[in-house]
Amino acid sequence: MGLAKKELKLEQFSPNTPAETVLRSGLALANGPVTLACSFSKEDVALIDLVERLNLPVTVFALDTGRLPEETYAVAEALIQKYSLQIEWYAPDNLALQELLIAKGPLSFYESLENRKECCRIRKVEPLQKALAGKGGWITGLRREQGETRQELQPLEWDSSNGGLLKVSPLVFWNDTQLDDYIREHRLPVNRLYKEGYTSIGCAPCTRAIAEGEPARAGRWWWEDPTVKECGLHK
């Protein structure tokens, strides 16, 4: 990274630490420009609003996997109109995608965890690496409440899986009520699929609504063991 990593003082953060404080701390600690990863979830919409209100020097990028629901693109357009937002879009490598489709067909991800991770790698992980190239940090909408794979998340972490840059998760301690209250207070656009029982929205073939009492991420890769429900963007 060129510069020695600054020490993360995690003890300064508690569930009562404002998201604004985490954001500003992250920008101060990052060894280079910071970008916000937007999947157009409730969390990411709230983060974009925070960044805009604080006038922070943060860019915004999105991964177009080629399989996003129409409702997700509608949120993107609403954000562009609301904030005159410039979104940097990253797509899968066309040759790699064509080779996957020819070799295994369009639904190989249902067949095994290995195949699903291969699809995620081509459609999401490799584009993410391009988006983060040259960056000192990235902002995510991760929250501990989202599932058992995210229980140990910290507001600030050095992301070894992406070259050691700083990973900033300002909403890590927020619960659903806090998030919904913020969205309602600031009249932010929300994906229509949430009203249909979706609680975590990714690619259309890999996302479904959840039943009452199911965990928030039960609708993602629902045919898999819940302990492995990550696409590779977050190790």
Give 170-226 pLDDT, tens digit per residue. 999 999 999 999 999 999 999 999 999 999 999 999 999 999 888 888 899 988 877
Question: Which residue ranges form the domains of the chain, and what is each CATH number?
Answer: 17-197 (3.40.50.620)
Strand partners, 220: 207
What pLDDT was estimated at residue 15? 86
Residue with more model confidence, 2 or 79: 79
What pLDDT was estimated at residue 14? 85
Query: Which residue type is seen at 22?
Result: V
What pLDDT was estimated at residue 234? 47
pLDDT at residue 3 greater than cutoff 50: no
What pLDDT was estimated at residue 201? 94
Segment 31-46 shows an average pLDDT of 96
What pLDDT was estimated at residue 151? 73
Q: Does the active-site annotation cover 206? A: no
Residue with more model confidence, 152 or 189: 189
Q: Of the listed 38, 119, 120, 231, which one is catalytic?
A: 231
pLDDT-derived band at 145, boundaries 50, 70, 90: confident
pLDDT-derived band at 26, boundaries 50, 70, 90: very high
pTM score, whole prediction = 0.89
